Structure 1
Amino acid sequence: MKLKNLIACFFLGFIATSCIKDEAPNAEADIETCTVPGDVLNREPIIENERITLILKKGTDITALAPKFTLTPGATMVPESGSVLDFTNPQYYEVTSEDRKWKKKYKVEVSFSGITNTVYHFENARLDKNGQYTIFYETDTQGKETMLWASGNPGYAMTGVQGGSDIYPTYQSTDGYQGKCLTLTTRKTGWLGNSVNMPIAAGNLFIGTFDVLNALKDALTATKFGSPFEYIPTYMKGYYKFTAGDTFYVLDENNKEDKLKPVPGKKDICDIYAVFYEPTNDMKTLNGANVLSEDNPNIISIARISDAKETREWTAFNLPFVYREGKTIDPAKLKDGKYNLAIVFSSSIDGAYFEGAPGSTLYIDEVELGYEE
């Protein structure tokens, strides 16, 4: 369905009363959950805004899978949930809202592993289906898309911003270390973001997914970091440039007019890091609230920049993965894809808490992830 229309309706209801009448037919057309019969899943399916990835155990027959879906109330789908299909190639499902006014198409595909690319040039980018914001992706040697990067761009689109893709927090520019590059800029979110205590949006890009449906309720947990990785990460290196915005702000929830409180003399700084961790039933993915927590028992090792600085010249970084005390890797779990890796770039180190300087800009290019078998 048209998410922008739905979000506009939500905000009007948030600020005034409800924008739909009680018991009116549901206008949502979303897949909420997905399961696959049999002992074939290696991990919970990854559900994105218009794409679902089924991460399967090695050796699974993909010619006759019957995924089952939970939809938003009243919605229907074609093919029907539970239909047996051949997933040698991706399958497409169309969901129709209860009020029959909205349709949404999902691409459902299978994967036997998570992260397959370990060198990132940021040359591959396209606009979302509405032509608003940039989506970065990776390909294999034959040019087939293998991985989508996630960002907070879908959340920023809720503000109703008008203009080209380069006014979003995450976009592509031509001034790369080599060719094009990733560009992240911290932005103000306007009156809509201000009204829900989210007055700024840091530019970010990460391996994982962005839960746009829950972004307004809990922004920290809307960023779901990580994807399966079957090797032991050893380092992450690349190049960056960074300039800080003029005025640093913190969130001031008590000010009804302007949620941004300036902090004179404070400078913004960027963040670059990667986290290797073990998912568990009670912590299937890391998020903005716990991805770097010192007391997080799931984290195995972290590579993080510690000397980030303002620099207008391309500057190299080389970050070793440092193990948390007492942590080791189980070879059997590694072989079975039971560990996740997250890579995260942000234009404001505390942007997840709506602190930072609008205009802070981080450029990233030619990133390489080192690993061993």
Structure 2
Amino acid sequence: MKRLLLVSCLLLLLGSCIKDAPKNPEADITSFSIDPKQLTGDTFIDQANGKILLYLTKEAYEQGVVPTITVSKNAKIYPSSGEKINFNTTGQITYTVTAERPENKKNYVIQVINVGDWSFEFEKWGQNDNDKWEYPIEDDLSTVWSSGNEGVAISGVAKDPLAYPTRSTTDGYMGTRAAEMVTIKGTALSAFVGIYLYAGSLYIGNFNPSVVLTQPLAATEFGEPYVGLPGRFTGYYKYVPGANYQDENQNIIPGRTDECTIYAVLFEGTQRLNGTNILTSDRVVAKAVLNDGSMKSAFTKFDIPFVYRQGWTAQAGTKMMMAIVTSSSKEGDHYRGALGSRLVVDHLAVIPK
């Protein structure tokens, strides 16, 4: 009896010492899956801005889709996974995820990307709520352009649009605004990991912050779905290189002058290419590359034909993607260039055959 009482007392003491496990505070959508036959491009979850970007066929848009959604452990989502989304209804479609710790919630807005219009005037711009970097938006308020600004924000720049390498400018060719890219000095934090400059960049696609620290080139995900075949890539630009070209270790390279880069690439499939393979992948079928990246103090028009891969022919049903890439320093993806290099682009367009 004494032993039984002793064991009971020990169990009571242990029970009083064990606390309930803390509730999970995370409220994320971790996957958002739709029947691949209804997609023209892979779905992208923009965690930083609370958006889910959908690339749908015309039929899927008209008939609606039924997504399969997973969320953080023990979180709840409304509308629920498996509930049909209808896009022909008015109003914004928003998912709300409530964490196991119920005071934590996160909203995700569904955004269907328009794949039909490939002319860009850069008249409208949005601003990130937290870090204040700018990004172009289209007339239908969709966002197809990304930049390195989101990665630069991690390095601790001031929360001011002008502190970032990519932003809007009133110094455009036509209209009220254009896109400006400037190669800027890195921060104290970026220097700690060996990054001494950031080139301004603007490209069609998405920025993936989850890999930026381990695979910075893979963080730039290029491409949006494209219907048909392109014939020419046109637009206006001006460019002034910075005074002193430096390598990735801040060594000044005498006699070297910085260059800008502007090109468009057509490739097969629905998965985006990235900074490691955008010009070298065997999925690339056509390129339109500006070969002259030298100084142009006044706006200069370019009209570049797409050069198709020899022997390639379009197959019925093949899904295609298009990327447009621009940067104030041609080798800025390797942190080489000249501080102060400035590129302005305006009225870019992909003209179909």
**TM-score (ref. length: structure 2):** 0.84
CA 1:102–1:315 in structure 2 vs 1: closer, same or farther (change >3 Å)? farther
1:358 and 1:148 mapped to 2: Cα distance?
A: 27
1:103 and 1:349 mapped to 2: Cα distance?
A: 42
Give the partner amino acid of 2:126: R
What corresponds to 1:318 in structure 2? 303
1:128 and 1:201 mapped to 2: Cα distance?
A: 19
Aligned 1:2-151 pairs, distance under 5 A: 28-36=26-34, 39-49=37-47, 50-60=50-60, 65-73=65-73, 75-89=75-89, 90-96=92-98, 102-110=104-112, 114-130=114-130, 132-139=132-139, 144-151=140-147
Q: Once the 2 structures are TM-superposed, how far is the Cα of residue 363 of structure 1 from its aligned partner?
A: 0.5
- Picking from 246, 260, 276, the partner of 1:289 is 276
CA 1:178–1:290 in structure 2 vs 1: closer, same or farther (change >3 Å)? same
- Picking from 158, 173, 177, the partner of 1:177 is 173
- Picking from 268, 284, 293, the partner of 1:308 is 293
Measured against aligned partners, the alpha-carbon deviations of 1:169-226 in whole angstroms (never above 9, x if no partner) come to 1101111111311100112231222233333221111111111222222111111111
CA 1:271–1:161 in structure 2 vs 1: closer, same or farther (change >3 Å)? same
Kept after mapping to 1: 8 A contact 2:38/2:57: yes
1:97 and 1:202 mapped to 2: Cα distance?
A: 38
Q: Which runs of 5+ in 2 are unaligned?
A: 1-20
What corresponds to 1:155 in structure 2? 151
What corresponds to 2:164 in structure 1? 168
What corresponds to 1:329 in structure 2? 314
The answer to whether 1:347 aligns with 2:328 is: yes
Q: Once the 2 structures are TM-superposed, how far is the Cα of residue 310 of structure 1 from its aligned partner?
A: 0.9
What corresponds to 2:258 in structure 1? 268
**TM-score (ref. length: structure 1):** 0.80
Q: Which runs of 5+ in 1 are unaligned?
A: 1-22, 253-259
2:107 and 2:180 mapped to 1: Cα distance?
A: 29
Q: Once the 2 structures are TM-superposed, how far is the Cα of residue 323 of structure 1 from its aligned partner?
A: 1.1
2:214 and 2:26 mapped to 1: Cα distance?
A: 17
CA 1:100–1:356 in structure 2 vs 1: closer, same or farther (change >3 Å)? farther
Q: Secondary structure of 1:60's match?
A: helix
Kept after mapping to 2: 8 A contact 1:300/1:328: no
Which stretch shows the higher mean deviation, 338-347 or 308-317? 308-317
1:188 and 1:73 mapped to 2: Cα distance?
A: 41
Aligned length: 328
Measured against aligned partners, the alpha-carbon deviations of 1:316-361 in whole angstroms (never above 9, x if no partner) come to 111111112222222x235xxx000111111111111111122111
Q: Once the 2 structures are TM-superposed, how far is the Cα of residue 40 of structure 1 from its aligned partner?
A: 2.9
Kept after mapping to 1: 8 A contact 2:61/2:87: no
Measured against aligned partners, the alpha-carbon deviations of 1:295-329 in whole angstroms (never above 9, x if no partner) come to x2101100001112112111111111111222222
Give the partner amino acid of 1:292: L
CA 1:195–1:99 in structure 2 vs 1: closer, same or farther (change >3 Å)? farther
Q: Secondary structure of 2:81's match?
A: coil
Q: Secondary structure of 1:242's match?
A: strand
Larger gyration radius, structure 1 or structure 2? 2
Q: Once the 2 structures are TM-superposed, how far is the Cα of residue 26 of structure 1 from its aligned partner?
A: 6.0
Q: Tell me the C-alpha RMSD between the 2 structures.
A: 2.5
Q: Secondary structure of 2:218's match?
A: helix
2:35 and 2:302 mapped to 1: Cα distance?
A: 45
